[in-house]
Amino acid sequence: MKVAVIGAGFTGLSAAYHLSKQNHQVSVFEKERLAGGLAVGYKESDWNWSLEKHYHHWFTNDKAILDLAKEIGHEVIVKRPKTSVFVGNRIYQLDSPISVLKFPPLTIIERIRMSVVLGFLKINPFWEPLEKYKASEVLPKYMGKKPYEMIWEPLFVNKFGKFSKTVSLAWFWARIQKRTPSLAYPKGGFSNFADRLVGEIEKNGGKVYFNTEVTELFSRGKPALKFKNNKTPETSESFDAVIVTLHSFLFQKISPRLPQDYRKNLKKLRGLGAIDLVLKLNKPFFSDGTYWLNICDKNAPVMAVVEHTNFMNKINYGGQNLLYLGNYRAYDDTYFSMTKEELLSKFDPYLKKINTDYRKSLVGYELFKAPFAQPIIPVNYSKIIPSFKTPLKNIYLANIEQVYPWDRGTNYAVELGEKIAALVTK
Ligand SMILES: Cc1cc2nc3c(=O)[nH]c(=O)nc-3n(C[C@H](O)[C@H](O)[C@H](O)COP(=O)(O)OP(=O)(O)OC[C@H]3O[C@@H](n4cnc5c(N)ncnc54)[C@H](O)[C@@H]3O)c2cc1C
């Protein structure tokens, strides 16, 4: 079969890898100059490894992607970094049942109640009965108002903004189920891993075209696409099947023939963009070795502070300490139009509450924005997920919005790629 894959993020790479392994004729079209999509990295001249534009790691139970790494012989590093919360202007480690039971800002009764709820979600394998409930209604009722308002509500508000009250309990269940104390990371970074996959696809006879944007999907008996790059003006080509891995907003943009009722359903899906400021420091930011700090403060300008070099060795990044300041925001939020200088000034007073002197060790910073980064999972999301098959014959959709009940991630992108490859060739 002759198959086109649009997008060289992990869904597209996985689909193309599986198709190419079965000797199908695969062409991947990617508008950027590198593979990796949302997990793509950048590399400074004195770094040995690339760093993701937005913080990334794997859980040790991310089976699909860890199996793939094994299959292609890519080394994976597993470590147990420290995850903490910022509550009442103090940092507390909170990443194990013991740390929950010892959490000083709550009374022993409150800690036990919260542990029982988290423990129940961890051992209960059934998410379907939970999907009709809103996390914001169920959690305070069962774990108690104080633990919910101190820890979880600020995290929901900081992550989902005006959608925070609509998020389903199934989404929260998935977060608790998946979380592992140890985390994994591909040697060299996610871009390095994506490049390895590109190499495997090419070894199997597939083609990956970078800097090549698909501008229109249409049909001339068979599905066809128009694409352009800096060498060729707009060209078109037909395929037996086309796999689209783009966010549904972008899928609609390149598919003028999609019927109105299908578009109407896609419009029910909501999402947020991601904005990360990456600071380079010549001293560690956290004095206690924390890797990930959740900011439990609804009024904070930043959602999470992630010191990547408290997870991966700074030797790989020219000896610099790398710190993400992460936020999710709606695409039309002011954060999206702000410069890196404006954003740092906005975050600065808050960061000084954590490390008064950090500015003295700041050597530079970069800003990265991704408009389609985090689907919002409301109650009964399973009823609105688009299917792989689209109304356009032999044009398939496999994207971030179809990952459910799990929260989106490269592991599920790899799983989606495998599933869509199997469906297309069936
Ligand atoms: C802030 C943040 C933190 C995250 N943390 C983690 C984490 O810790 N662990 C984890 O596993 N995952 C994490 N993720 C999620 C993970 O990055 C995504 O789930 C995954 O990368 C999605 O892959 P995808 O291939 O489905 O989509 P994408 O990565 O979005 O790939 C789509 C590709 O299509 C290309 N494209 C778009 N339009 C066109 C066009 N017209 N023509 C050609 N190409 C086009 C894009 O350039 C892109 O490369 C995180 C994401 C964000 C934003």
Mind listing the pLDDT tens digit of every residue in the chain (426 residues)? 999 999 999 999 999 999 999 999 999 999 999 999 999 999 999 999 999 999 999 999 999 999 999 999 999 999 999 999 999 999 999 999 999 999 999 999 999 999 999 999 999 999 999 999 999 999 999 999 999 999 999 999 999 999 999 999 999 999 999 999 999 999 999 999 999 999 999 999 999 999 999 999 998 889 999 999 988 889 999 999 999 999 999 999 999 999 999 999 999 999 999 999 999 999 999 999 999 999 999 999 999 999 999 999 999 999 999 999 999 999 899 999 999 999 999 999 999 999 999 999 999 999 999 999 999 999 999 999 999 999 999 999 999 999 999 999 999 999 999 999 999 998
Measured in Å, residue 19 CA sits from the centre of ligand 1 at 20
- Does ligand 1 lie within 6 Å of residue 18's CB atom? no
365 with 278: CB under 8 angstroms? yes
Best probe residue, ligand 1, of 38, 62, 335 (max atoms within 8 Å of C-beta): 38
Ligand 1 and 410: CB distance under 6 A: yes
Ligand 1 contact via 413 beta carbon (within 6 Å) = yes
Domain ranges across the chain: 2-50+189-269+379-425, 96-178
| Ligand 1 atom 25, closest CA | 9
Quote the CA–CA distance of 410 and 426 in Å, as a whole number: 24
Query: Which pLDDT does position 331 carry in this prediction?
Result: 87
**Helical spans, DSSP H, in 212-304:** 248-254, 260-266
- CB distance 248 to 239 below 8 Å: no
**Is the beta carbon of 274 within 6 A of some atom in ligand 1?**
yes
- Helices 190-203 and 10-21 meet at what angle, rounded to 10? 30
- CA gap 295, 261 in Å, rounded: 41
As given in the structure block, the two tokens for residue 323 are 């710190």
Say which residues have a Cβ less than 8 Å from residue 55's Cβ, sequence separation at least 6.
276, 304, 306, 308, 324, 326
Q: Report pLDDT for 406.
A: 94
CATH of the domain spanning 2-50+189-269+379-425, picked from 3.30.1330.90, 3.50.50.60, 3.40.50.970, 3.10.20.30: 3.50.50.60
Pocket lining: 329 vs ligand 1, CB cutoff 6 Å: no
The CA 9 to ligand 1 mean position distance, Å, reads 5
Find how far residue 2's CA is from the centre of its chain: 30
Written as six digits, the tokens of 198 are: 């590109």
Query: Which helix (H) or strand (E) segment is 305 a member of?
Result: strand 304-307
pLDDT at 293: 98
pLDDT at res. 346: 98
Q: How far is CA 224 from the centre of its chain?
A: 30
* CA separation for the pair 92, 277 (Å, rounded): 23
30 lines ligand 1 (CB under 6 A): yes
Q: How far, in Å, from the CA of 36 to the mean position of ligand 1?
A: 7
Cβ of 213 below 6 Å from ligand 1: yes
Ligand 1 atom nearest residue 215's Cα: 41
Whole-number Å distance, alpha carbon 275 to ligand 1 midpoint, is 14
Give the residue carrying structure tokens 């009442």: 88
243 lines ligand 1 (CB under 6 A): no
Give the number of the atom of ligand 1 that is nearest the alpha carbon of residue 38.
Answer: 29
Assess contact for 310 and 289: CB atoms under 8 A.
Answer: yes
